[in-house]
Amino acid sequence: MGAVYLAEHTLLGRRAAVKVLQPNLSSNQDIVQRFFNEARAATAIADPGIVQIFDFGYHTDGSAYIVMEFLEGEPLDARLKRQGRLAPEEALRLLRQVASSLHAAHGRGIIHRDLKPENIFLVADREVAGGERAKILDFGIAKLSNNADSKVKTHTAAIMGTPMYMSPEQCRGAGHVDHRSDLYSLGCVLYHLVVGRVPFDGEGIGEIIAAHMMSSPPVPSQQVPGIPPGVDALILRLLAKRPEERFATAGELAEACGALLGGGTLPPTLGPIAATVMAAGTSPGAITGAPSLTTLSGSATAAPVAGTVAPAPKKRGGLIAVGAIAAVGAVAAAVLVLGGGGGGKGGAGAGTGTAAAAPIGTAAPTPPPTPAVDTAAIAKLVSEARAAADADKWADVSRLAGEALALDPQHADARALADTAKREAQSAVAYDRFTIAFEREDTVGAVDAYQQIANDSTYKGRARDAYDQLRLAYVASTRDQAKKLAKGKKCDDLDSLAAAAERVFPDAGTAAREIECKGARTRKPGGTTVATPGPGSGSGSGSGSTQPEVKPADTPAKVPGDIDGDGIPDVR
């Protein structure tokens, strides 16, 4: 979309970065508003950690630009590519900084909506733990919720962001997100950092979006053994489908990261997903290398990372201009900590790796009986799922059917509802794409999206009238173009038009072929070479008929410049 230039103030000698939008895009007011939105968002928060914006406006050639502070460092995605994945303590340290910065942004009503490793930049800073600071970049599509007069409006059905890091509510439409959407994106980022890949991936955007909306993420420690249970719980809480099941604020997330880094534990209110990770009698534990603590004091700040501040890393290649939100100080709320285990010694038998032997002659303990299936609870969940399906609340259908399957994995009705919910979620994504393409008059995009909607989906019926309207308009437009080409005797172009239109709508190709063209053809539709004389050149009765004489392919008519008699002018 543009380029970034290294600049220097001619009088002060101070370096700066200039981000310039391409001239052709600078004429698009919506794109320019989103471009300038980055500058407005970055300057909305008075914090020394935010990159400074010096100026923005239009160049003499009409290109929009932003002049900003010049930073030197490394983007987080580059570090990921180099290392594969990060140690949990390093990932938590960086995420804690990002969460603190995000808390400041959210406090000013700014929701980023595109958090990902590419938009987190690492710069040297001796004042913070680890010797480097994480900066949030690119607020180009940020939502300034406190600015009612902002000209940057988001269409309710628009899907904006990077699919692999988007929250379920963001997948359903960019107009329905709040600050907790950013927390979900941070969960995807943290998952990527410690596992080495994103929680949801697929061959197409629709598949990824549907997974965010409907599928449970794999437990990180099951992908990479050795990830502490506390980190599992933290990530899975961030990746909860319902916003209210995540952390309430980015500040709380920063506190939780600090608690784990300081050797503490997470609060017990992790929600049903995270609870499955923490088995009975298992302490979430601290990050490797941190001192083992059972409790934390009720201070207003999180425990510091053990050890001294590392020296600033050497400068690496890669200079970048960034729009950032800087890290803020410690959050005000107290850290909620669950006491884990009995002091520093852990639970009974911990660390031995062996079980106590039963006395000789004693009977082995009887295994506990398999619990009976709660048919009443399953029937209630299935009934609620059906009611949610009738109301087109497919996220609720997926949740309720999933709870029923957890009680009885073989329940046919619950399985059918879960499959239907997945199909409808994928169709909903395709329907949103169809709607956007239709409004933009992107016929090819709309047809492609329409074909991705399941035929038995409720969304197929919703889209059918608009699809038929689009088809009729496309056929009429194709016919008009065909008439113009026929009038100009551009028969080859007309044939190409018919072939192209047929790939979009078959009846559009038919409509184009019905238009009579009386000019010369150098190729026959379908690939066979043929020549067709122009009007009046046939061997008819001489009555002045304009009907062209069509020669069979094996006896092409002689045309000027045709030496070998194949009906095509030869170029020497």
Q: Cα-flanking dihedrals φ and ψ of residue 19, to 5°?
A: -95, 120
Q: Beta partners for 20?
A: 3, 65
Q: Decide: 158 and 173 in contact? Cβ < 8 Å.
A: yes
Q: What is the DSSP letter of 325?
A: B
d(CA 275, CA 435): 39
152-174 b/e with 16+ CB inside 10 Å = b? Answer: bebeebebbbbbbbbbbbbbbbb
Q: Decide: 182 and 211 in contact? Cβ < 8 Å.
A: no
Tokens of 536: 């009046």
Decide if 374 is catalytic: no
Tokens of 428: 């909903």
How many CB atoms are located within 10 Å of the residue 570 CB?
A: 10
d(CA 513, CA 501): 10
Is 424 buried (19+), middle (13-18) or exposed (0-12) by CB count in 10 A? Answer: buried
Tokens of 90: 């390093």
Q: Decide: 29 and 50 in contact? Cβ < 8 Å.
A: no
Written as one letter, the residue type at 109 is G
How many CB atoms are located within 10 Å of the residue 495 CB?
A: 20
Q: Decide: 102 and 293 in contact? Cβ < 8 Å.
A: no
368-378 b/e with 16+ CB inside 10 Å = b? Answer: eeeeeeeeeeb
Q: Decide: 115 and 324 in contact? Cβ < 8 Å.
A: no
Q: Which residue in the list 30, 114, 138, 492 is annotated as catalytic? A: 114
d(CA 454, CA 98): 40
SS3 136: strand
250-261 vs 229-238: helix crossing angle, rounded to 10: 170
CA–centroid distance for 337 within its chain: 33
Tokens of 491: 């028969």
d(CA 143, CA 37): 9
Known catalytic residues are: 114
